[in-house]
Amino acid sequence: MTKNHAEAAWAEGEEGLSIDALRRFLRDRLPEHMVPSFFVLLEDLPLTPNGKIDRRALELVGAEGFVRRDGDAPATPVEEILAGLWSEVLGIPRPARHDSFFDLGGHSLLATQVHSRMRAAFGVEIPLRLLFEEPTLAALGAAVERALAAGDAGAANAAGSAPPIEPRPPGDDTELPLSFAQQRLWFLAQLDPASPAYNVPIALRFSGRLDRGALAACLTAVAARHEALRTTFVPSADDPGRPVQRIAPPVPVPLPLVDLAGLPDPEPEARRLALEEELRPFDLTRGPLLRSTLLGLGEDDHAILFNLHHIISDGWSTGVLVSEVAALYGAFLEGRPSPLPPLPVQYADFARWQRTWLQGEALRAQIAFWRERLAGAPPALEIPADRPRPAAPTGQGGVRRPHLSRAITDGLNAYARRHGVTLFMVLLAGWKSLLHRLTGETDLLIGSPIANRTRPEIEGLIGFFVNTLVLRTDLSGGPSFREAVGRVRETALAAYAHQDLPFERLVEVLVPERSLARTPFFQVMVALQNAPQGDLTLPGLTLAALPVEGKTAKFDITLELYEAPDGIRGRCEYSSDLFDGPTLDRLLGQWAVLLEGALADPRQPLAALPLLPEAERHQTLVEWNAPAWTAAPDEPVHRRFLAEAARTPERVAVIAAGETVTYGEIADRALRLAARLRGLGVGADVPVGVFLPRGAGLLAAMVGVWEAGGAYLPLDPAYPRERLAFMLADTGAPVVVTEAGLVEELAPHPGKLVLLEENAAGSAGVPPAIDFIGRQDAGAPSRGISGSAVHPETLSYVVYTSGSTGRPKGIALPHRVLSTLIDWQLGDWALPPGTGVRTLMFASPSFDASLHESLATLLAGGTLVVATEEHRRDPESLLRWMIEARVERFFLPFVAFQQLAEVAARDGLAPEL
């Protein structure tokens, strides 16, 4: 088969055989990449005299237009014109009327090219999204005919569509303006002239007999064809602050040779030189902005290093450069003239046209769309990173090489075709789904480059045409993956229809929140490279890319993908200010797992999609969670304390201000409180506020609440009344346990007050209606443990966050988790029962560290030593008191611990501590 027919298939069959049926048949039996994109139905397959398929005859039949069954060929003049446009853009024979553009290999970039040709051919503006919604030749043709019948031939200009790009008059090379994109890069270069961030390197390796003179002549000819390669940027004569383009006359392009053939292994040195060249800055004023170097690796082994500044090139341009060098090299070897046709316009013509057209109503319409689309957008997407974001990025980066298997790639392509989307849209939906899972954000903005070659006359130019689109997707409401793909599709189609506004103008007009620490609107870029990359075939030579790992990063993460024979491969550039390489490896692996899970069941909510490979999932959930101790999660911690108190009632539990309280005394008070709380209706999961300072009373109240079945809600007396009122209202606690001296400090609430002190109802200032705990409320622990059963999943406590980032949030923990936590702590601190360890009781009751202090100590038979407020406020006094009280174990905030360490070092107390 010829190169154009590599994805074609010929078939003969019974009358009524359809291309759709053939495609379904083959998809059930072949990997997706082996299913032909183009099918031709013949009356009879041509045969050789011995009865075999005549492949040469098939090619001839195809070259003559392909014999088709009646009704399969384009049926109207409009369909004929469209078939020709598809054939030209897709590089295939003329399609059938029921062929789908995307089944034939179309994607977003090619759709843009077809769209521009349709505008020129019919003089009517057909929305780009129509090609996605009506992707068959027949359906699209009908839509064009409806537009023509409605008299929309002049609609393009009426809607502000751009006029054609015209070449400037000969000799008009003075004061040529920069395009909007060029102006932004020029400005960035003034800020950091030595930055290599916008270099566009290309490294190719040649195997075979290379004619260096012919190659140099090719480069000179390409530079002569493309003014952009001879352009520098200088101040305007009228306004030195405004740059203009200066185009130099054609001159030979230098191609210096660096001979590495004498080295034992020249390849490492070649890679080093390639990286060195990639990081070499350009001078935009002096030029040249194209550099080329030839490396001699052996007699028939060479590498060529190109480096262009982004201000004169883009990804598409590199394909143009390579393909033109290939076309010229063969001709020059044979002594033939250049086979390349003249260029209709130059980049400077495009820049002038852009400045002239993109103003007035055309500009206002574009700005209005993007202003509405980006209104209220969040300023940043913070992906969990290895380091805090610096105030100003260094631009240093690293590279990872993602790979999606052939099986996943086939599945993604099949999904895209079934649902009328492109491969890029499915990949982007997967990436956004991952970022949603990692960050918890639902309003996600991602940058994506678009070739922006929406007119045929600029498709063959070298220059900086690429634009950046901000793709904003709302993933709120718990969508499925299928719904997420649909939302991404709508986002992308709307952006494609408004791609003419340069990103630079968008930033200038919308004035987003600016910061040196991050780029405006987005910090992550995603691209699927499907721009033509040029023919790497040269006579007598085999060419291959010479991969060079970059050391720069423009964004937090840039994910560039392309489809290869073994699946989707790519290049992931990341900021080393934020991330380490293994972090990106893990993130890319999670993306692949998520996509695989989404293909298995696209109707799953995003929150249910898997992220971890099976081995890592087992390691995380099983191996790393295997307890190193014998836990008793079904026995709540308060019951274990009461059992310990029944065994050793005289053991000292708390020392506070010289007073000691035993285990039995705490248990006795706890059981009497539990009986009173049950009488007030406290049961499973009912929150009970405990408004008490650190000490024995707090511990008795905590155990009593749990024994009654309730949930412990600690209320620190040092907290502001407003915060206490919020916590009580938020939980709806019907009962608060406190003491007489604190009643007036407690925020008003409609619930019941219970005082721990005996006969407190008779105390001055305490209303008689307030309950108090007397001896009659319950028996002592020596008479056994009483109370209702507590289920392991019953709520044990509610502790509130600080609220520093907004409204405080209540964190609720069941008994099973609390028991497991304390068991881990006992094992981690090696505190077997009966050790008698002395632990500092320091933390606020409303801080969960107070539970760590108290429960592990009491279950180990230890003693809690309560620090006074004076000690807590004075590090020197606290340290000396801890030494006197023989404190052996403590939990402290880092700042408090640091202060103690400084005092110990200053006063020489460290050995004693």
Residue type, 594: L
CB atoms within 10 A of CB 741: 15
Minimum mean pLDDT range among 183-187, 448-452, 464-468, 828-832: 828-832
Q: What pLDDT, on the 0 to 100 scale, is given for residue 160?
A: 44
Query: How many angstroms separate the CA atoms of 826 and 855, rounded?
Result: 10
What span, in angstroms and rounded, lies between the C-alpha atoms of 326 and 541? 10
Instruction: Find the helix or strand (DSSP H, E) in which 655 lies.
Output: strand 652-656
pLDDT of 765 higher than 70 = no
DSSP β-ladder status, 199-208 and 659-662: unpaired
Output b/e per residue, 326-338; b: 16+ Cβ within 10 A: bbbbbbbbeeeeb
Token pair in block for residue 641: 């304390």
Please check the confidence at residue 620 and state whether its pLDDT lies above 90.
Answer: no
- Percentage above 90 pLDDT, the chain: 46
Element (H, E) at 29: none
- The pLDDT of residue 633: 54
- CB of 74 closer than 8 Å to CB of 80: yes
Q: And the tokens for 886?
A: 């023989």
Averaged pLDDT, 849-871: 87
Across 496-500, 587-591, 748-752, which has the greatest mean pLDDT? Answer: 587-591
Structure tokens that stand for 176 in this block: 């040529």
Higher pLDDT, 112 or 731: 731
| Residue with tokens 């660096």, as numbered in its chain | 258
pLDDT-based confidence at residue 832 (cuts at 50, 70, 90): low
Q: How far apart are CA 122 and CA 452, in angstroms?
A: 21
Q: What tokens appear for 631 in the block?
A: 């836990």
Closest CA to 19 of 36, 1, 7, 2: 36
Percent of the chain with pLDDT over 70: 85
The first and second tokens of residue 660, run together, are 């000691």
Q: Hey, what are 608's tokens?
A: 């249910």
| Phi, psi dihedrals of residue 670, rounded to the nearest 5° | -65, -40
Instruction: For residues 832-852, give the mean pLDDT.
Output: 81
The better pLDDT of the pair 269, 513 is held by 269
Query: Could you identify the residue written with the tokens 């035993």?
Result: 662
Which backbone phi and psi does 184 adopt, to 5 degrees?
A: -65, -45
Q: From CA 684, how far away is CA 91, in angstroms rounded?
A: 72
Q: How far is CA 27 from CA 30, 301, 409, in A?
A: 5, 42, 14
820 pLDDT higher than 70: yes
Q: Which residues pair with 840 in a beta bridge?
A: 865
Query: Cα 130–133–136 angle (5° rounding)?
Result: 90
Q: How many residues does the chain have?
A: 913
In angstroms, rounded to a whole number, what is the distance separating the alpha carbons of residues 309 and 291?
9
Q: How far is CA 548 from CA 198, 545, 557, 612, in A?
A: 16, 9, 18, 30
Torsion sign, CA atoms 506, 507, 508, 511: positive
In the beta sheet, which residues pair with residue 74? none
What type of residue sits at position 821?
L
The Cβ of residue 771 has, within 10 Å, a number of other Cβ atoms equal to: 19
Residue the block writes with tokens 């040649």: 206
Which DSSP letter does residue 46 get? -
Please write the tens of the pLDDT for every residue from 766-781. Answer: 454 466 565 455 444 4
319, 531 Cβ separation under 8 angstroms: yes
Query: 235-243: long-range contacts (C-beta < 8 A, 24 or more apart)?
Result: 236/175, 237/175, 238/175, 243/178, 243/183, 243/186
Distance CA 254, CA 275 (A): 20
Higher local confidence (pLDDT), 506 or 783: 506
How high is the mean pLDDT of the chain? 84
| pLDDT at residue 431 in the model | 98
pLDDT at 260 over 90: yes
**Cα gap 7→19, rounded to integer Å:** 14
pLDDT tens track for 16-72: 566 667 776 776 667 655 667 666 667 677 776 666 676 666 655 543 334 343 346
Q: Each residue of 355-373: pLDDT tens digit?
A: 998 888 888 989 999 999 9
Contacts for 35 with CB less than 8 Å, ≥ 6 apart: 23, 26, 27
Instruction: Please give the torsion angle defined by the CA atoms of residues 212, 214, 220 and 222, in that order, rounded to the nearest 10 degrees.
Output: -120
Q: For residue 273, what pLDDT is reported?
A: 94
Give me the mean pLDDT over the 424-453 stretch: 94
Model confidence at 239: pLDDT above 70? yes
821-854 b/e (C-beta count within 10 Å ≥ 16 → b): bbbebbbebebeeebebbbbbbbbbbbbebbbbb
Q: How far is the C-alpha of 766 from the C-alpha of 298, rounded, in Å? A: 99
Tens of pLDDT, residues 422-436: 899 999 999 999 999
Return the biggest CA–CA distance within the chain: 120
Higher pLDDT, 142 or 710: 710
* Residue 784, pLDDT score: 40
Would you say residue 886 has pLDDT above 80? yes
* 861, 835 contact by CB (below 8 A): yes
Q: From residue 467, how far is each of 11, 177, 364, 379, 451 by CA, in Å?
A: 43, 18, 18, 21, 6
Q: What counts of helices (H) and strands (E) characterise the chain?
A: 28, 28
